[in-house]
Structure 1
C-alpha cells in the first residue's frame, strides 16, 4: 500500500468530516463471521484455523498470541507478558486479563546500581537481571480454562507446528538481530537458536525452534504447571542463575494472572472500554478525550487541531508520570483522573493560541518506553471481542534464551523506576508509584481498547512504547469520524508526552506550513526519520452487518482477514 506524499492532508477531510450512519440495530444481531488483525500473517491464519475448529475468539487469541511468540520474537513471546481485553457476548461482561510480568522476590533497587551508585544500564536492560517473571503463558492458560471452548493442545497446535517446522525469516528480525547481536551472543541458549547454522539469521532462511516447540507442548499438556513447574521452570531458573540472576522455582510457581475491571468512559456518542492500571493507557485516554469534548475539532484548521490535541496529551502524560503504577501496590486517584469535572479543569487551562511549556506544569519527566511490542484484534461470529497487546520490551527482550527451553526472556525490569531521578534507556525517571518491589508489576503503556457506537464496534491497539496511547487516540478519532479500519491504521502520527517538551511527528505527517504555525504558537517540533507503531483494527458495522479489518501498512508482514460464516 503506497502512502500519499502528505497523508495527513490527504486524510484530513475523511478524518474530521465523514458522517456516522445512524440506524437502530437489532439487539440479538451477531456478526456474519470473524475478523482477525495481527502483526504477522501466520498468526492471523492460526487464529482463523482455531475458529474453524469450533473455537471462539478467546481460543483464537491463544493461537494468535502463541504464534506471535514463535514468529515475532523481536516483539513478544512466552518469556514476556501482556494485557488481554475481553468482551464476553454471552454475559455482556468486559474484563482485562492482566498477564504483565512481575519482579522476582530477590529484586531490590540496590541490585541495579553500579559501584559508584549510578544505574547499571546493562543489568537493567540486558540478560537475566533485566527479566521479570513471565506472565504470558499463565495468561494463555487462564483464557483456555475460563473463556475458551477448546483444550490448550488444540489452540497451541499452530504455534507448536511453526516452532518445530520453522518459518521464513523476514527483514525486521534480521535488522533487530543486528542491533542486539552483541548482547544476544553472550548466552548459550540464544546462540543455540539464532546461530544454529553457524551464522546470524538471514532473510528467507527457515528459523527452527525445536526447544520452544517442546516447551509449548509441555504447556499444552500440563497447563500452568507445564511452564511454571517441572522441567521448563527448572531449566529457566538454572540458566537465569548461571548468568548472574537470582530466581527461584517459587518465583515462577507463585506467578498469578489478575482479572481487572477495565476503564470505562464516554466520548461523544461512543462507549469506550480500555486498559486499567498497571496500564497507564486507559486513564490517559479518558483524560485526553474528555478534554477534547470542549472543541469541535472538525471546525479547526490543522495547526489548531494539532495544538489542542498536543495540549491534552501533555496534561494526561503529566498525570501518568506522577500517579500511576501497579494497583496492588499503589493507591491511585483513578475516579478523579477519569472524571468529567477533572477534564474540565484541565481544559480550562489550555490556551487556544499558545503552547503551555511543560515546565509550567508541576511534576517530573515521563517515560519514553520502547516500541518493540505487538498487538492483535479479534471479533468472532458470536460477538466476542479480544484486544490484546503483548511484549518482551526491547528488541528481543533481554537477549537471553533460557537454554533448553527456547524461551526468550523479557527485559521489563527496566520499566520500573530503578533509581529515583535517573532515566533509563528511554528516559524513564524514578518515582515511588513505579518503584521496584518483589511481586510488583511494572507500569505499562499498552492500551487494548474497544469502542462501541450506535451502529459500530471497533477493536484496536498498537505497539509503540509511550507512543501507544497517542496512536490509539488518533486511531479512535479516525474511527469516530467514519474511517474504516485500514484508513485508521494508516493515519499519520504525532505525539507529545509532557517531557521532553516537543511534538514528535512521523516523516511527512505534518506539512511545512503546519510546522511553522505550531512553532509560532510556542511548540517545539521534532520530525522523526522513521515511522512508528503497528496498529491492528477490526470492526463490526451493525447497520450493514459487515466485518472489516485493517493492518498497519508500516508492517509488511501483518495481516487482517475476515472469514464469513457458512
Structure 2
C-alpha cells in the first residue's frame, strides 16, 4: 500500500460521521453534577470537590451525610454498593460493602418453639442485625480511589451530626411507624427521645454520639469503628439485648471488590451490579429480552405487557439461582447471555400474559422499601453510583448505647426459613440461606449507561422494585428523556410471585389498565384491595441520576420529585 493511498484512507476515515463524532466528543465534563436524596448531602459532595477531592472523595461525603440525615434509610450501621468509574484508567469497579451474617445467626435461631417463623426476631432488635459494611467502604474508597484524607471527606457529616438538621416529614412519619420497636432499647431512646418527645417535623435533630463515632472513624480508619471504643460498644450493645456477637467477627469484616456486569442494550453499554446484588443479572435479562422489539413503535398497553413479561422471567430466575457468589455457584455467564435472553423471549406471547405458575419453578427473595441512592460525575469524568441501606424503616431499631449507630435489620433479606415470605412478601431457598460471613441477597442496583452521545449514572431505593425502577429509567433515557424527566417517570412492577402487576397512582391511564387486564394481567393499584400481593403504595422510590450530554457538553441532574428534600445540582468546580 503506497503512502499516498494510506493518507487518502486516513482522510476518508477522519471525515466519516463516526470519526467526526469521536473527535468532537469532549474530553472532560464542563463541571460536576450530584443528585442525592437530601440537599445537605448534595452540598457536602460539592464542598469536598471544591476542597480538591474527586468523585470518590465526594461519594464518601455524600454517603456519610446521608447516614446522618436519613437514619430512616441508611447509616453507619448498614451497608451498600459503590459502583465507581475511574476516568483516567477507564476502569469500572464494584465495591461490595454489603452486611454479613454473624456466626450465631443460623436458620434455627429464627424459629419459635413450635417451629413457626419468628418474624419479630427477623425484623427487630439484635438478631435482625448483620455486621455493618458502610464504614469499611469509606476507608477502602478513600485509601484506594480518593485524593483527600478520610477526615476531610467525613468533616461535613461530623458537622451535621453535631449541629443538627431539621426533621423532615418522612423522618417524622417513619418514626411514628416504628416507634414501638425503637423505644424498646435504651440506646435508641437516648438518641431519638433526647428532647423527651418523638422527633417532630421542623425541629433540630442532633446526634453527638454519632458525631463522636464519625470522628473516631476519621482519625483511626477501620479500627476507629470495628475495633477499640466503638467496636466494644457495638458488641456490648447487641449482646445486652440478647444477641451473640463477638469482637472477632466484627473486626474481621472485609469489603469486596467485584467485577461489574456489562452488557449492551441497543446503543448503550450498561455497567451494573453483580451478585450479591440481584439487580445486574435481572437488568441484563430484561433488557436483552426486550431488545427483540422496537418498544418506541408500540402503544402503551402492548409495550407495558412486554416489559412486565420480561420482569416476570427475570424475577423467577432471581429466586432460584442468586446469592452471595463467595458461597454459592451463580451461573452468571448463562443468565446474562443474549442467547439465554432470546430463549426467554420466545416464551412470551405478545397477546397474552403468562401465568407465573406456568413458568417452571416452585419458589421467590428481596430488599427494603427505604434505602437511598446518589449519583456523581466530577470534572474529570469520574463517576460514582452508590446505593446504601439499613433495610426497613430505621433498620432494626437498635442503637448500641454511646455509639449513635442505628443498626440494620438485613438478616430478614436472607431465606431464614425456606419458602417463608420475608417482610416484603417474597421467599427464598438454599442459595440465599444464612451462613457465617455470608452476604444476604440484595436488590440494590447502582448503574452506569454510556452511548456515543450520553454518559449516565442512576439508581434508586425501593426494595425488589429497585430493579424494575432502574429498568424503567434506562428505557426512559433510551427513549430520549432527560435526567429530571427520567427521575419523575411513573413506575410499575412485577416480581414473578405473587402474580400481580403493581403500579403507582396514575402510572396507568384507565384505558391502559383495562387493556392489560384484557391481556390476562392482574393489577394491584393504589386503593384497590381486590387483587392479591403486598399492596401498592401511592408513590415508590427516590431515583437520583446525573447525565453528561456529549453532544452539547452539558451536565444535568435529576432528583426524584417524590422526595421534597432531595437535590440535584450542577456546579463549575475547577479541575
Instruction: Using structure 1 for the length normalisation, give the TM-score.
Output: 0.95
Aligned position for 1:98: 96
Does the residue aligned with 2:365 lie in a helix, a strand or coil?
coil
Q: Deviation of residue 113 (structure 1)? A: 0.7
Aligned position for 1:418: 416
Separation of aligned partners in 1, 2:37 and 2:517 = 36
Residue among 350, 357, 360 paired with 1:359: 357
Does the residue aligned with 1:226 lie in a helix, a strand or coil?
helix
- The one-character-per-residue Cα deviations of 1:404-427 (angstroms, maximum 9, x if unpaired) are 000000000000000111112212
Does the residue aligned with 1:425 lie in a helix, a strand or coil?
coil
- Aligned residue-pair number: 545
Aligned position for 1:7: none
Separation of aligned partners in 2, 1:454 and 1:188 = 55
| Structure 2: runs of 5 or more not aligned | 1-19, 527-536
Aligned position for 1:10: none
Q: Is the 8 A contact 2:26 2:553 kept in 1?
A: no
Residue among 264, 267, 286 paired with 2:265: 267
- The one-character-per-residue Cα deviations of 1:28-77 (angstroms, maximum 9, x if unpaired) are 61011100000000000000000000000000000000000000000000
Q: Is the 8 A contact 1:322 1:364 kept in 2?
A: no
1:327 aligns with 2:325: yes
Distance 1:104 1:237, change over 3 A: same
Residue among 136, 139, 154 paired with 2:137: 139
Aligned position for 1:75: 73
Does the residue aligned with 1:74 lie in a helix, a strand or coil?
coil
Aligned position for 2:491: 493
1:35 aligns with 2:30: no
Separation of aligned partners in 2, 1:509 and 1:364 = 30
Q: Deviation of residue 107 (structure 1)? A: 1.7
Aligned position for 2:307: 309
Aligned position for 1:280: 278
Distance 1:115 1:378, change over 3 A: same
Instruction: Using structure 2 for the length normalisation, give the TM-score.
Output: 0.94
Q: Is the 8 A contact 1:57 1:385 kept in 2?
A: yes
Aligned position for 2:508: 510
Aligned position for 2:179: 181
Aligned position for 1:247: 245
Q: Deviation of residue 480 (structure 1)? A: 1.1
| Structure 1: runs of 5 or more not aligned | 1-21
Residue among 548, 571, 575 paired with 1:563: 571
Separation of aligned partners in 1, 2:428 and 2:90 = 39
Alignment of 1:127-276 (within 5 A): 127-276=125-274
Alignment of 1:380-399 (within 5 A): 380-399=378-397
Separation of aligned partners in 1, 2:436 and 2:361 = 26
Does the residue aligned with 1:150 lie in a helix, a strand or coil?
coil
Does the residue aligned with 1:24 lie in a helix, a strand or coil?
helix
Separation of aligned partners in 2, 1:107 and 1:279 = 21
Q: Deviation of residue 175 (structure 1)? A: 0.3
Q: Deviation of residue 345 (structure 1)? A: 0.3
Q: Is the 8 A contact 2:367 2:444 kept in 1?
A: no
Separation of aligned partners in 2, 1:61 and 1:228 = 21
Separation of aligned partners in 2, 1:407 and 1:370 = 19
- The one-character-per-residue Cα deviations of 1:196-226 (angstroms, maximum 9, x if unpaired) are 0111000011001000000000000000000
1:554 aligns with 2:552: no
Separation of aligned partners in 2, 1:92 and 1:469 = 26
Aligned position for 1:539: 547
Q: Deviation of residue 367 (structure 1)? A: 3.1
Aligned position for 2:348: 350
The structure with the largest alpha-carbon Rg is: 2
Query: Where do 4+ consecutive residues of structure 1 move more than 3 Å?
Result: 22-28
Q: Is the 8 A contact 1:417 1:435 kept in 2?
A: yes
Separation of aligned partners in 1, 2:497 and 2:21 = 44
- The one-character-per-residue Cα deviations of 1:456-484 (angstroms, maximum 9, x if unpaired) are 10000000000000000000111112111
Aligned position for 1:13: none
Q: Deviation of residue 258 (structure 1)? A: 0.1
Q: Deviation of residue 23 (structure 1)? A: 3.6
Q: Is the 8 A contact 1:417 1:431 kept in 2?
A: yes
Aligned position for 1:465: 463
- The one-character-per-residue Cα deviations of 1:281-330 (angstroms, maximum 9, x if unpaired) are 00000000000011011111111000000100000000011100000001
Distance 1:120 1:25, change over 3 A: farther
Q: Is the 8 A contact 1:37 1:561 kept in 2?
A: yes
Separation of aligned partners in 2, 1:392 and 1:428 = 18
Q: Is the 8 A contact 2:35 2:558 kept in 1?
A: yes
Distance 1:40 1:25, change over 3 A: farther
Q: Is the 8 A contact 1:318 1:364 kept in 2?
A: no
Distance 1:478 1:277, change over 3 A: same
Does the residue aligned with 2:524 lie in a helix, a strand or coil?
strand
Q: Deviation of residue 25 (structure 1)? A: 4.9
